[in-house]
Chain A
Amino acid sequence: MKILARIGFWLLVAGIGLFSIFPFYYAVISSFRSGNDLFSVAYLPERLDLSNYVAVFERQPFGTNILNSIVVAASVVALSLALGITAAYAFGRIRFRGRSLLLMTILAVSMFPQVAVLSGMFELIRGFGLYNTLPGLILANLMLTLPFTVWVLTTFMRELPKEIEEAAFVDGATPWIVVRRVFLPLMMPAAVTTGLLAFIVSWNEFLFALTFTLTNERRTVPPAIALMSGSTAYELPWGTIMAASVIVTLPIIALVLVFQRKIVAGLTAGAVKG
């Protein structure tokens, strides 16, 4: 009975693992194949053909697209954290009229589907003169990342002992110094986690990036991949699309692996009351 349960458990784990990894695995396999091979089903790589990877960068400004994505995602993370932490201080620590209403409003904003705000946002971006620019994309993406950043950081901020802040006030700190020199270091684990999530959201964002950019040089990676064209109008370049997908997935995996240790280490360090 016990053995059966154990076998069942591992079968389940294997099933879930297969389900989550297979699409990526198939993308990797496909990226190494070209021509008619692409349209036959194969589960094992036959040979290592890197021509697709070369083609990605030759046929379009894919390097620029990656750079754009990095700039947008990094700026979104930096702005989300800066605004999120200061907002969290206000929500978590300062009593003011309408605090919970405002917090609810922020949560409500994240409930709108992107499509619903798309046309309004488009007018806004154009009004600011940010159409087809990276700052326009950064602004739009903040709408997606700020609500959860503020919420997570506020929850975390509320759990920090109030006496530490009061001790800092007695020591002569202003609220800004308290946030920067006392709370920020203590909130590192939360900041890393939310920052990572914000990065992933922004990195994968498609609809805004497609709508608010016009030229190939201003696109971020997701619309760039979607709009890739083959050598003829009738060819869908699966090989290059798969190669591009693999290229842009790798940084995310690397980031998660790098910061995973920080998250775990930070969380255990914060768990001990000082």
Chain B
Amino acid sequence: MADVVLKNVRKSFGRAQVIHGVDLDIADGEFVVFVGPSGCGKSTLLRLIAGLEDVTSGDLFIGGERVNDRAPAKRGIAMVFQSYALYPHMNVYDNMAFGLELAKSSRSAIDAKVREAARMLQIESLLDRKPRELSGGQRQRVAIGRAIVRDPKVFLFDEPLSNLDAALRVQTRIEIAKLHADTRATMIYVTHDQVEAMTLADRIVVLNAGRVEQVGTPLELYHRPANLFVAGFLGSPQMNFIPCAVSRTDADGVQVQLPNGGTVTVPVSPAGVRAGETVTLGIRPDHVKVLDQGALAGRIALVEELGESHLLHVDIGRERPLTVREPGDSRHEAGQEIGLSLDGAFCHLFRESGGALPLLAPAGSPTGRPAARAINAA
């Protein structure tokens, strides 16, 4: 069991800097997920922690010890790779035993550990098989088993589910969550899949271009994104962004003027905001209401039926259509003119720098923001 602490960690490949000073505290037993678009440095950050890449500057602590110059095997970590990275010429048993064998464990200790891990992962019947005789899901279990037998203080997962099909992905995701509950080991998990991030994480670290954009619990990030990037990255379909101008600020929040005339008051802190300033209003597709007449008017460009809900892509005279999600089957058709209402309580405002205006926490905090409430209570 160990905590992982990064202090101003930087990484450069030649002249190109890919990690720009990351500070991060990961508590003992915590499940932390790194998310971000491809090329944001999330895998590199994981490899720095694993010791597969050297930290260019900054300090890396695992369990209170500085491990910058320590070999991967001596850091008390185990890693599960995206491509499984099993040894193709060894059978499942030997794949899992290899690390212990190199650590010069006794034969009986190795046997006990391997069989215990195999029982946990239900791969006991596969121990004599070669990796090429296994399905993708089974290979991934073996890879996880190889990590378990090392009894690591920290588990590192590098997009472990992205090579699996959808059904297996859900199943394996649940198994990883169970593994975390059973072992209570610190886990760091890299993914670009936000469903995995939301469901697995105690805390999510959103990375962009080698920088940490925001760290927080999944719901904190979902309900109170710190900036435009996080707001746009989490949530599917993506949050709608509408540029608009600030018309009035008072104690209740900031009133903005929508492109076609309507106004919305958003309960955010007005500190430092001037009337007339250009801001970006963000609202999730679930929070836009369809009316005959509303603050916005538009024409439905496309209807997408998802079964349990449907998406309306509404042309509001801007380059990108507004997305609306409503439950059940659609009552509308493409081409229809509709009105949209935006509930200010569910809106976010972002300044031109990209930073979000902090939400006010009035007594009757909207029900859609439980995390926000929790934080304010604390």
Binary interface profile of A, 160-188, with partner B (CB < 8 Å = 1, else 0)? 01011011111111000100011001100
* A164 and B102 contact, CB distance less than 8 A: no
A257 within 8 A of B: no
**Interface range for B:** 20 to 34
* A171 and B86 contact, CB distance less than 8 A: no
* B98 and A168 contact, CB distance less than 8 A: yes
* B88 and A186 contact, CB distance less than 8 A: yes
* B87 and A169 contact, CB distance less than 8 A: no
B72 within 8 A of A: yes
- Nearest Cβ distance between residue A99 and chain B, in whole angstroms? 15
- One of A170, A172, A185, A273 near B79 (C-beta < 8 A): A170
Binary interface profile of B, 58-102, with partner A (CB < 8 Å = 1, else 0)? 000000000000011110011101111111110000000011001
- One of A166, A173, A181, A185 near B81 (C-beta < 8 A): A166
| Bound-state Cα–Cα, A177 to B51, Å | 18
* B88 and A169 contact, CB distance less than 8 A: no
The interface on chain A, measured as residues whose beta carbon lies within 8 A of the other chain's beta carbons, has a size of 21
In the complex, the chain A residue whose C-beta lies closest to that of B74 is A172
Cβ < 8 Å to A, chain B residues 32-77: 50-52, 71-74, 77
| Bound-state Cα–Cα, A56 to B340, Å | 103
* B131 and A173 contact, CB distance less than 8 A: no
Residue numbers in B under 8 Å from A169 (CB-CB): 51-52, 71-73
Residue numbers in B under 8 Å from A182 (CB-CB): 87
Residue numbers in A under 8 Å from B50 (CB-CB): 170
B150 within 8 A of A: yes
B167 within 8 A of A: no
Residue numbers in A under 8 Å from B51 (CB-CB): 169-170
Residue numbers in A under 8 Å from B130 (CB-CB): 274
A54 within 8 A of B: no
In the complex, the chain B residue whose C-beta lies closest to that of A169 is B72
Residue numbers in B under 8 Å from A173 (CB-CB): 73, 98, 102
B132 within 8 A of A: yes
Residue numbers in A under 8 Å from B79 (CB-CB): 166-167, 170
Residue numbers in B under 8 Å from A274 (CB-CB): 84, 86-89, 130-132, 139
- One of B72, B83, B86, B89 near A170 (C-beta < 8 A): B72
* B85 and A166 contact, CB distance less than 8 A: yes
Residue numbers in A under 8 Å from B103 (CB-CB): 172
A272 within 8 A of B: yes
Residue numbers in B under 8 Å from A272 (CB-CB): 88, 132
**Residue with the greatest number of chain A CB neighbours at <10 A, chosen from B52, B73, B88:** B88
Residue numbers in A under 8 Å from B87 (CB-CB): 164, 167-168, 182, 274
Cβ < 8 Å to B, chain A residues 221-274: 269-270, 272-274
**Residue with the greatest number of chain B CB neighbours at <10 A, chosen from A172, A181, A273, A274:** A274
In the complex, the chain A residue whose C-beta lies closest to that of B97 is A171
* B85 and A164 contact, CB distance less than 8 A: yes
* B99 and A172 contact, CB distance less than 8 A: yes
- Nearest Cβ distance between residue A74 and chain B, in whole angstroms? 25
- Nearest Cβ distance between residue A110 and chain B, in whole angstroms? 31
Q: A172-B102, A177-B102, A274-B132 are in contact. Are A166 and B52 (CB under 8 A)?
A: yes
Additional 11 contacts, C-beta under 8 A, given A163-B84, A171-B102: A161-B83, A167-B86, A169-B72, A170-B78, A171-B99, A182-B87, A186-B88, A186-B89, A272-B132, A274-B130, A274-B131
> 6 A-B pairs, CB-CB below 8 angstroms?
A167-B87, A171-B102, A172-B73, A172-B102, A185-B89, A274-B89
| 8 shortest interchain CB distances as A-B pairs | A274-B88, A172-B73, A171-B99, A163-B85, A274-B131, A167-B85, A185-B89, A172-B102
